[in-house]
Amino acid sequence: MISMFKKVCFIIPFVYVCSHAQLLGSTKIKDMSCDQLAKVSQDKDFALNSLAGIRGIKKCPGFNFDMKSVTDFERKIFVQEIAEANILLLPTPVSATAQLAISENASIDSLRNQIKKEKQPIEKMVLMKQLRAKYRSNNRRADALKVLKDFQALAQKTFKKDSKTVKHQELYLEASVNLGRQYYSDNEFKKADTLLTATITSLKPFEQQNLAEITYLFGKVKEDEEKYKEAVAMYDAVLEELKKGASKNVLLTREKLLWTKAWTLYKDEQWAAAGDAFKVLATETVDTSEKSRANFFLARTLKRTDKKDEAVKIWTQMTQDDFYSYYSLLAYDELGIKVPAFNTLKATEKFNFDKSLSFLSAKQKNFFNALLEHEEVDLAERTTLALTDKPEQLTVLGLELAYRGHRFLPLFIAFAKLPIEQKQDIMVQKFDLLFPRLYSTEVKEMATITGLPTSLIFSIMRQESAFNMNSRSPANAYGLMQVIPPLAKSLARKHKVEYKKAEDLYNPQINIKIGSFELSEQVKKQKDQYALVAAAYNAGPSAVTRWLKTRFRPKFDIVDFVEEIPYDETRLYVKVIARNHLFYDRLESPNKEFVFPENFIRQTDLSQPAPTVQTN
């Protein structure tokens, strides 16, 4: 493939960048000597002179560069580089208390000591929240829960002492929501019920407090207790509450409430009421994915009420309107027909690939192109996301970043927000950037060793890291398949993989081996049920075991069960992996029709946990 914008480099906007690169030879900024950095950092015509100056400060003793010349936009892009440089340049003294309050590096012991000393309740609660965050990031779950309970008790005590102070109300509400959510996650419904009832009763007289989130949480508790009518009443109350104003939780939207209400009615086998609720959601939402989900289950309710012809009509329309989403692809299975060959997709000519990057200024083009020319892909990725928030423009930049820098995340983010006609146009013309097959040699080798399909391994890599081999998550997962070091150590020992330290997981060969072995272990443990495999890979096998015990219902099939996964991230993850798996299969054999991947929807005895697979 030829880069969409490669030749642009040689016409007006990028003339200087290319010619400057030639003047410097082929030396990239990261490889420049101190003398070279000094020279280009003073050249105001060089697009990356500020980066050269910052690198010089970090690398070269006594390097002279005026940080005041760095623009606000550059500061945003180079924030980490500047922070490191500022350690050398500006060792600003900070008081111990202030440093403790704002530093990410404040130790757990320091926070605990400060909490003991602090006399003011509000300040103490701020420190408690920081300590809880520290415990959670270090996987100290019991300690995090204890701090949360202490936080809630102090918040409640402070509120009772002075209930008219708005800050006291807010902290009491926040603490109760967090603790109630924890009780809910741990299936301690009685504790959650008692806590949430008391909090809602106490705060209801204060109209300035939006109780949508806590009432929604209470509804989820009732739902999991199978008190469906009470849950629906709670959701109706939240819908009324949202009319007064949006919840502080930006994820708690009217669309989410409409879905939750419809799904609760579906579980209660109130088919007519559920169908009506799904229809309201499908009509109101402008989100194509949400509309697909609502229509899919609307058709299922119609089928259950002997209105099969109406159901078939909806599923058929879904396959015609949407070539891409999980639910429209599932509709083929409901209809008992195969998904058409990939090569039957036609370009729609609805997307403007804008090869000249006309939405950027000349300076912005220079900057973006220079980062790619100098192989500063991390910074180019940050720049792509900072230059625009418009999906079409972000897609254009994302395509170039994907081709030239092998960084795909901005493209994936932007593509998800496009109308379906534009998605189809890009899919037909740039499918290899939407579904990359990097490291195919390593993937095929591990597919042969483990018996896994290459499409499953690629799907996991695409979702876990967007093929960024240097990615590291807040949960301390590394590399392409986001493997955590303790598991890596265990699997490496078992399968004789050369692995010594966590940083080895940045090596694609090592990461793909260990990640594939873990995936293979989960396939065995979950009895070849790939929806459960994906869920276990994302949330852990113990979570899947727990959900099967508490959330599986005899009348559910696997498609229904996926909707019951309580973690939003994991629920979406399973669906995306299933869709990706199908597209990788279709792209591997573009002239072949496919059924929806059977391993994702094949029914197994979900009520019986699979045997534990030892990994050490």
DSSP conformation class of 11 = S
- Looking at residue 85, its pLDDT comes to 73
pLDDT of 306 above 70:
yes
The arithmetic mean of pLDDT across residues 572-594, rounded, is 98
- The four Cα atoms 212, 214, 220, 224 give a dihedral, to 10 degrees, of -160
pLDDT of 10 above 50:
no
- Looking at residue 208, its pLDDT comes to 85
pLDDT band at 248 (very low <50, low <70, confident <90, very high): confident
The arithmetic mean of pLDDT across residues 453-468, rounded, is 98
- Contacts (Cβ under 8 Å, ≥6 apart) of 361: none
Find, among 361, 598, 406, the residue nearest to 508 by Cα. 406
Q: What is the distance between the alpha carbons of residues 263 and 215, in angstroms, rounded to a whole number?
A: 17
Assign 3-class secondary structure to 353-392. Answer: CCCCCCCCCHHHHHHHHHHHHCCCHHHHHHHHHHHCCCHH
8 Å CB contact between 597 and 476: no
- Contacts (Cβ under 8 Å, ≥6 apart) of 130: 101, 106, 111
Residues of the chain with pLDDT > 70, as a percent, come to 90
- Between CA 255 and CA 263, with CA 259 as vertex, the angle to 5 degrees is 175
Average pLDDT over the chain, rounded to an integer: 90
Inter-CA distances, 408 with 243, 393, 396, 405, Å? 39, 15, 12, 8
The least confident of 91-95, 206-210, 330-334, 515-519 is 91-95
Tokens read off for 153: 């008790």
Find, among 493, 527, 492, the residue nearest to 511 by Cα. 492
pLDDT band at 597 (very low <50, low <70, confident <90, very high): very high
pLDDT of 381 above 60:
yes
Tokens read off for 32: 């420049």
- Looking at residue 247, its pLDDT comes to 81
- Looking at residue 83, its pLDDT comes to 83
- Looking at residue 25, its pLDDT comes to 53
The arithmetic mean of pLDDT across residues 310-315, rounded, is 98
> How far is Cα of residue 33 from the mean position of the Cα atoms in its chain?
39
- Looking at residue 614, its pLDDT comes to 40
pLDDT of 523 above 70:
yes
- Looking at residue 178, its pLDDT comes to 97
pLDDT of 245 above 90:
no
The least confident of 49-58, 136-145, 370-379, 515-524 is 136-145
The arithmetic mean of pLDDT across residues 373-390, rounded, is 97
Q: What is the distance between the alpha carbons of residues 209 and 203, in angstroms, rounded to a whole number?
A: 7
Domain parsing of the chain, residue ranges: 32-93, 440-601
The Cβ of residue 126 has, within 10 Å, a number of other Cβ atoms equal to 16
pLDDT band at 15 (very low <50, low <70, confident <90, very high): very low
8 Å CB contact between 51 and 78: yes
Q: What is the distance between the alpha carbons of residues 393 and 383, in angstroms, rounded to a whole number?
A: 13
Single-letter residue type at 226: E
The arithmetic mean of pLDDT across residues 251-269, rounded, is 95
pLDDT band at 14 (very low <50, low <70, confident <90, very high): very low
Q: What is the distance between the alpha carbons of residues 531 and 273, in angstroms, rounded to a whole number?
A: 29
Indicate the helix (H) or strand (E) that contains 578: helix 568-588
pLDDT band at 19 (very low <50, low <70, confident <90, very high): very low
- Between CA 367 and CA 378, with CA 372 as vertex, the angle to 5 degrees is 95
pLDDT of 9 above 70:
no
- Looking at residue 418, its pLDDT comes to 96
Tokens read off for 165: 């102070």
Placement of tokens 């807010």 in the chain: 170
The arithmetic mean of pLDDT across residues 396-412, rounded, is 97
Tokens read off for 47: 């697009």
- Looking at residue 431, its pLDDT comes to 98
The arithmetic mean of pLDDT across residues 458-470, rounded, is 98
The Cβ of residue 139 has, within 10 Å, a number of other Cβ atoms equal to 11
Q: What is the distance between the alpha carbons of residues 6 and 246, in angstroms, rounded to a whole number?
A: 46
The arithmetic mean of pLDDT across residues 34-43, rounded, is 96
8 Å CB contact between 616 and 493: yes
pLDDT band at 552 (very low <50, low <70, confident <90, very high): confident
Inter-CA distances, 60 with 26, 55, 461, Å? 21, 8, 38
DSSP conformation class of 396 = H
- Looking at residue 107, its pLDDT comes to 84
Q: What is the distance between the alpha carbons of residues 16 and 366, in angstroms, rounded to a whole number?
A: 8
Single-letter residue type at 365: K
Question: Helix (H, G, I), strand (E, B), or coil: what is residue 37?
Answer: helix
| Fold observed for domain 440-601 | Lysozyme (1.10.530)
Inter-CA distances, 315 with 279, 582, 586, 614, Å? 14, 18, 21, 42
Q: What is the distance between the alpha carbons of residues 195 and 177, in angstroms, rounded to a whole number?
A: 9
Tell the burial category of 130 from Cβ atoms under 10 Å away from its Cβ (0-12, 13-18, 19+): buried
Q: What is the pLDDT of residues 134-160, one digit of tens each?
A: 999 888 999 999 999 999 999 999 999
pLDDT of 191 above 50:
yes
Question: Helix (H, G, I), strand (E, B), or coil: what is residue 225?
Answer: coil
